[in-house]
Amino acid sequence: MAHLPDDMRPATRAEGYTIQARLEAHTAAPLYGWKIAATSTAGQAHINVSGPMAGRILAERVVEDGSSVSLEGNRMRVAEPEFAFRMGTNLPPRRKPYAMDEVMAAVASLYPAIEVPDSRFEDFTVVGEAQLIADNACAHLFMLGAEADDWRTLDLATYPVACSVAGKLERDGLGANVLGDPRLALTWIANELSGLGIGLKAGEVVTTGTCAIPLPISPGDHFTADFGRLGKVGLAFT
């Protein structure tokens, strides 16, 4: 669609989140986790939004490492390498903002991940952040790799990631591309959700946004993201 009908169109971020929340009534499984969209100034400028946005990861949209997935109907056709965290304890909503140290103390584990976003809008760059939030912040498919070892001593802001579309494109990424640091991004979403009266729950996965310029993909492509000692993940596309 070009945009939501006038009488259904959210005018604010809060209204967009209210619409997005209805998605949970249409999934049989518990919420898998959360994503963050537009975590770089370039990404924000590309889709004309003022800042990052939170979206829900539904369990039926999660695929396994090495899977072959269809691009049929996908308008965005990009793959994104991301740092993802699994929560170990709850972070309930509260009036006082969470500090990064508090958020990281609630984390159980870190994973390399891939997101394959998409939008229901014909031109997602012009509809604005309220409608994009209603569209689940462009959440579509998500892949979680194997749990990483010995990651807490690493500086994730300076951590490099190499990604490629086999035979076509190679691109480098960096943790700092995610709101300056994936840990800062996780803190942002904890506070964004807290302001909506939503808490991060133990067991939920949060993927923190692309750490490289999204790589264009087409049917027949194979995308790989190499996180070095943290692991390597990949998806094929049909």
CATH of the domain at 18: 3.90.850.10
On whether residue 167 sits in a domain, the answer given is yes
On whether residue 195 sits in a domain, the answer given is yes
On whether residue 168 sits in a domain, the answer given is yes
Per the CB < 8 A criterion, the answer to whether 231 and 146 are in contact is yes
On whether residue 209 sits in a domain, the answer given is yes
Q: How far is CA 40 from CA 21, 51, 64, 114, 131, in A?
A: 24, 8, 27, 17, 19
Give the model confidence (pLDDT) of 93-102 as tens digits.
999 999 999 9
On whether residue 1 sits in a domain, the answer given is no
Answer yes or no: pTM beyond 0.85: yes
Give the model confidence (pLDDT) of 220-230 as tens digits.
999 999 999 99
On whether residue 220 sits in a domain, the answer given is yes
Residue 46 is predicted with a pLDDT of: 87
How many domains does the chain divide into? Answer: 1
Is the pLDDT assigned to residue 41 strictly greater than 90?
A: no
Domain range for 227 is: 6-237
Is the pLDDT assigned to residue 30 strictly greater than 90?
A: yes
On whether residue 196 sits in a domain, the answer given is yes
Residue 83 is predicted with a pLDDT of: 98
Q: What is the mean pLDDT of the chain?
A: 97
Give the model confidence (pLDDT) of 106-158 as tens digits.
999 999 999 999 999 999 999 999 999 999 999 999 999 999 999 999 999 99
